[in-house]
Amino acid sequence: MMNRTMKLLLLSDIFVLTGFGLIQPILAIYIDGGVAGGTMLSAGLASALFLFTKSMVQLPFGHYVDKQPGKTKWLILGTFLMAGVPIIYISANSIYHIYLAEIIYGLGSGLAYPTWLGLWSANLDRGRESFQWSVYSTSTGLGTAATGAGGAAVASVVGFDATFIMAGLLCMLGCLALIYMGRRSAMIGENMGGDAPFRRFRMVFALHSRRSLDCASRLRLTILNRILN
């Protein structure tokens, strides 16, 4: 159904999205009650700062990374930056630390998101694109839903700090999956999954076959003309 590269990309995103799914339901409460200068308004500004940073980074970076051969390293870097965000939440003493965390989160997401999409798209199987995207959406959606429902419960039992540590560990597991994928790609060649290499081979083979047939046809016509004349 999926090659190993796609499975590792999917596994990584499940870990990362699940980790941040633990945080999302409680982050505004944590900022409002546990951070100096934190209010519900500043929590909203922090979220907007993340989205703004991500939007400013991912468009030019997506244009840049399309031309680069080693995409996996950028995906690992972006995911690693995201994994450090929950740790900053733990040590935050001021709302400005939260703002810094959101900028780093946006930067990491801006590096990881377009790179992840490029690698996933390069490995899609022809004729199964919609199904494979549905597998991704369903898997990550179920993981995020489960942690979204349980995030507040976990925080109420073990506290904010333990919840943030759990989120960071899940993100690091996602990063480790990408590191393994990167080492494997270095051995067998990056982006060689799916139908992409086979489509290229079939196109080259078909073109060569047509040229060979044209040459053979011309040769037969030349021989026939000489016999008749």
pLDDT in tens, 143-179: 888 887 777 788 888 888 999 999 999 999 999 999 9
pLDDT class of 215 with cuts at 50, 70, 90:
low
Identify the pLDDT of residue 213: 45
Residue 209 in this model has a pLDDT that exceeds 80: no
- Among the listed ranges 30-44, 170-184, 189-203, which one has the minimum average pLDDT value? 189-203
| Lowest-confidence pick of 52-56, 126-130, 225-229 | 225-229
Q: What is the mean pLDDT of residues 222-228?
A: 56
pLDDT of residue 204: 38
Residue 65 CB contacts under 8 Å (≥ 6 apart), including other chains:
71, 74, 114, 115, 118
Residue 131 has pLDDT above 70, yes or no: yes
Taking residues 191-207, what's their average pLDDT? 45
Round to whole Å and give the CA distance between 154 and 50. 24
> 190 falls in which pLDDT band (50, 70, 90)?
very low
pLDDT of residue 70: 83
CA distance linking residue 82 with residue 19, whole number of Å: 10
Distance, CA of 57 to CA of 74 (rounded, Å): 13
Closest CA to 190 of 136, 123, 125, 113: 123
Task: Work out the pLDDT band at 2, boundaries 50, 70, 90.
Answer: confident
| Per-residue confidence (pLDDT) for residue 198, from 0 to 100 | 43
Q: What is the pLDDT of residue 218?
A: 56
Average pLDDT over residues 22-33: 88
The DSSP code sequence of 148-192 is HHHHHHHHHHH-HHHHHHHHHHHHHHHHHHHHHHHHHHHHH-TT-
pLDDT computed for residue 186 by the predictor: 66
pLDDT value at residue 203: 40
